[in-house]
Amino acid sequence: MAQAVHRSHPTPAVYWAIALFLAVVTAIEVAVPYFSVLDPVRVPLLIVLAIVKFGTVVAYFMHLRYDKKLYRTLFLFGVIGVIPLFVVVLATMHAF
């Protein structure tokens, strides 16, 4: 019998801490449009914050950080596939 050891899943305390972190990031996201001084960096900042939240949920709540590499590959295939899909959809509709 082959055996595979996986990294341990977080405890409930860690899940609560991650949720608190996500709540703080969301609060920052909501506050950004109200500060005109941030206007020059508003779009990249909001995109980075969304990526941070996305990655945190996928890594910790969906356990992709702890699970088999195969699952990560399968999911990333879809997520990365969105980029050429974006280009194809926009090109089809003559957005360029």
Q: In the complex, which residues of this chain contact other proteins (CB under 8 A)?
A: 1-19, 22-23, 26, 29-30, 32-33, 43, 46-47, 49-50, 53-54, 57-58, 60-62, 68, 70-71, 74-79, 81-82, 85-86, 89-90, 93, 95
Q: Are 76 and 54 in contact (CB under 8 A)?
A: no
Fill in the amino acid letter for 23. Answer: A
Q: What's the min distance (Å) between Cβ of 70 and other proteins? A: 6
Q: How far is CA 4 from CA 18, 69, 91, in A?
A: 27, 12, 45
Q: What's the min distance (Å) between Cβ of 42 and other proteins? A: 8
Q: What's the min distance (Å) between Cβ of 52 and other proteins? A: 10
Q: What is the radius of gyration, based on Cα positions, of the chain?
A: 18
